[in-house]
Structure 1
């Protein structure tokens, strides 16, 4: 065979392989997920993620993502959003005013993705290191005109249909001034309630729902003994929700990254984000093994105007610093992995996260 003919055959083979590989990649990218895990590191921008890389003794799990986008976070009322409006953009796909929990600008309830999927027999879960009635988790199952109405948000949990929840906020469910005992009410609805500990090895029954309220208010800081709560709760939530062959939706919030930012406390912020990163590794490992799970990791906004500056001009020494005790208007990243993840590349409004999830889970 002549050299020219060999090169011609080789070229044809390369073209064939290229077309085949492109077809395979396109098929994988266009595949729709059965499950979605939405992870929200409240208050986290790129500087926070960079800090977790520099200060973490382990490789960052953020580096495992190939698809990365950016979202614009302004609310309908303000250039700088709060967590309630930011989370409602994710949960309901609308721009609303700061403080709104699952309602539009006229304070009218808007169906959330969690509620929609419950009606379609998906399993659903909500996990947070704040109270379970806080702005971000509450925006996925509740409808109240103001985020501080945590007693009312707690009542909304009873009619939400959520299959698994874990966080703090016990005081909003029992020993209330109105004498309502929502823990007992949840048990009457078939929930197995746990108020003091979470066992990740617990056997989960398919026909039961589970609720964990492990602190009176928010969960303790990771620096003050919270331990592996977020990791264990997520592991247990995945064990429960994955029993549903139809599929599931799970929202996991690392709530206190935001609180560290508000406090201008770099050690608090970074330790919370490293804890979140550990849970991110668990979730990515699950998604890789499962093959039908889309993982989305983002934030509702950035908090603290956080940055990593040079310490006294020393470019080899970092000095974490803040420009505000509040939120900022900077865009925040969206990391995605799994079926449909390519949809989340680019720059878009925060409401598009909802739109893209709905599109992927459309019947």
Structure 2
């Protein structure tokens, strides 16, 4: 009997130990080391849906299990712009349309990049627009107006950004004040390339790296940009992760928005599919790494985009809706106030389910990563 009790006690102790180790592993994995935030500018649910109808391979959006919705209104208007929307993500405050890294009262607000830098957490921004455009700028700059491009470029030089890629050379070397900001970036230990994305081996020994590959915005994917966005995403991850230190990376697919403004469905859908490829690169890394949180969302919807049934005519001239065929349609040339989906994968992903204000993206990122 005593031996039986001793065996039972020992078994329970081993079982308890195993459960404790499992719990410790689970707790460890609940806190991400890295966060990759991907923003498809101007993308609502219909834009996301287009990938499921028009992409030839399975959309990476379909790989997410945790999905939420955000309310996007700016501090003064029901319909936000990219500057106020990105500032909400980067700093956790509602502000007026056109504001970059400032509150509604025009005072500077700390960005996530500025908050994490003292803890030696690296950061990067990637865009298919100019790197001084509203969305990327909101993560490192402070400007009363998104149109102050040369001031925003100067802010990038003095920022804590470690990696960037996009367009915008003219704001750095053809400035009204005559300054050469390329030299300033080089003085800050940046390796600057204005010709093409390199491979990781070409930049791995540098402290910082930057790519400016067009005078202003990058060309559309259908106009020769190729797979720049997915390659830049992969390169940015490799560079920021090279020392196995924590990092934050923001990736913007800027031109989904421009396709919406132009009411050009081919433009919009090709950019959305290109963005989805970049999402795939982030998810592939996160799956291998196990310590990376991937968040995919948008600042607002553009164009009132809808995947409507095709309208056709019968022989007698009357019209009917053909439910077997889709015709993309638009209701506006501007932005809309529709709720925007949020997709999350990795440690802390469940935090991003539900319906909440866009400012909560910022607060949730800091919370799950423990970046106080």
TM-score by length of 2: 0.89
State the match for 1:354 in structure 2.
Answer: 362
State the match for 1:161 in structure 2.
Answer: 160
- Superposed CA RMSD in Å reads 1.7
State the match for 1:253 in structure 2.
Answer: 252
Name structure 2 gaps, 5 residues minimum. Answer: 1-14, 312-320
The alignment status of 1:223 with 2:222, answered yes or no, reads yes
Q: CA deviation at 1:38?
A: 0.2
CA deviations 1:58-103 (Å, max 9, x no partner) are 1011010000000000000100000000000000000000000000
- Three-state SS of the structure 2 residue aligned to 1:140 is coil
| Residues in 2 aligned to 1:229 and 1:91: alpha-carbon distance in whole angstroms | 24
State the match for 1:79 in structure 2.
Answer: 78
CA deviations 1:84-133 (Å, max 9, x no partner) are 00000000000000000000011111000111111210110000000000
Write out aligned runs for 1:135-214 (5 A): 135-214=134-213
| Residues in 2 aligned to 1:152 and 1:250: alpha-carbon distance in whole angstroms | 22
Write out aligned runs for 1:299-318 (5 A): 299-312=298-311, 313-318=321-326
Instruction: Note if contact 1:298-1:334 (Cα within 8 Å) is conserved in structure 2.
Output: yes
State the match for 1:12 in structure 2.
Answer: none
Q: CA deviation at 1:30?
A: 7.0
Name structure 1 gaps, 5 residues minimum. Answer: 1-15
Please point out which of 337, 347, 351 is paired with 1:339: 347
Segment of structure 1 superposing worse, 37-46 or 239-248:
239-248
- Three-state SS of the structure 2 residue aligned to 1:157 is helix
1:196 to 1:30, Cα distance in 2 relative to 1, 3 A: closer
| Residues in 1 aligned to 2:224 and 2:121: alpha-carbon distance in whole angstroms | 34
1:292 to 1:283, Cα distance in 2 relative to 1, 3 A: same
| Residues in 2 aligned to 1:287 and 1:152: alpha-carbon distance in whole angstroms | 35
State the match for 1:124 in structure 2.
Answer: 123
Instruction: Note if contact 1:206-1:240 (Cα within 8 Å) is conserved in structure 2.
Output: no
Instruction: Note if contact 1:132-1:169 (Cα within 8 Å) is conserved in structure 2.
Output: yes
Q: CA deviation at 1:29?
A: 9.8
| Residues in 2 aligned to 1:230 and 1:133: alpha-carbon distance in whole angstroms | 17
TM-score by length of 1: 0.92
Instruction: Note if contact 1:107-1:145 (Cα within 8 Å) is conserved in structure 2.
Output: yes
| Residues in 2 aligned to 1:216 and 1:62: alpha-carbon distance in whole angstroms | 32
| Residues in 1 aligned to 2:208 and 2:245: alpha-carbon distance in whole angstroms | 16
State the match for 2:332 in structure 1.
Answer: 324
1:60 to 1:176, Cα distance in 2 relative to 1, 3 A: same
| Residues in 2 aligned to 1:202 and 1:227: alpha-carbon distance in whole angstroms | 21
CA deviations 1:205-263 (Å, max 9, x no partner) are 35520010000010000010001111111111111100243300000000000000000
- Three-state SS of the structure 1 residue aligned to 2:173 is coil
CA deviations 1:30-80 (Å, max 9, x no partner) are 711000000000000110011111010010110100000000000001000
State the match for 1:270 in structure 2.
Answer: 269
| Residues in 1 aligned to 2:68 and 2:24: alpha-carbon distance in whole angstroms | 19
